[in-house]
Amino acid sequence: MTVKILLFIAGFILLIAIVIIFSLKKIIKKRLTNLKKRFNEYQIIEYERFANCFGIKSKGYFQIRGNGILILTEKFLFFQMLFPKKEILISLSDIQKTEISMSHQGKTKGRKLLKIGFTNDRKKMDSVAFLVSNLDIWYKKLKKIS
């Protein structure tokens, strides 16, 4: 009897996980389509559907880190978090440094991060870091155009 209950619970959890994954894929696809329309006048050089943002240094340690869409154009770097729908827009002319780091804001996932140093709206040095699947490509493209 307990084996049947455990199998039922495991099956139910698996079903919920599948529904969540398909829902996220649908949300990401819709957001990416909307962002491509929004930025249709700019050439998109690179994009990542599921980048993990480690936050902006000047906002402090207690901000939410989250997944979202990262877009690089010939004019700016843009990130839109999935939940909450928060955006980061950095002009390429404001980017001062691009590097690879293992952590940002005391946060790590044990993998290398794309870390970008930039001049913020208050004309102060700031930084943001992203976990991206194709780190070398992002790093080379940002180094080339910034």
Stretch 38-66: mean pLDDT: 94
Encode pLDDT of 65-109 as tens digits.
Answer: 899 999 999 999 999 999 888 999 999 999 999 999 999 998 999
pLDDT of amino acid 1: 66
Q: Are 79 and 48 within 8 A, CB to CB?
A: no
Residue 33, classed as helix, strand or coil, is helix
Judged against a pLDDT cut of 80, whether residue 115 lies above it is answered with yes
What pairing do the DSSP bridges indicate for beta strands 95-101 and 87-91? Answer: unpaired
CATH (one of 2.60.120.10, 2.30.29.30, 3.20.20.80, 3.55.50.30) for 42-145:
2.30.29.30
Q: How confident is the model at residue 113 (pLDDT cuts 50, 70, 90)?
A: very high
Structural domain spans, the chain: 42-145
Q: What is the dihedral of CA 11, 13, 19, 24, to 10 degrees?
A: -150
What burial letters (b/e) apply to 1-30, b meaning 16+ CB within 10 Å? eeeeeeeeeeeeeeeeeeeeeeeeeeebee
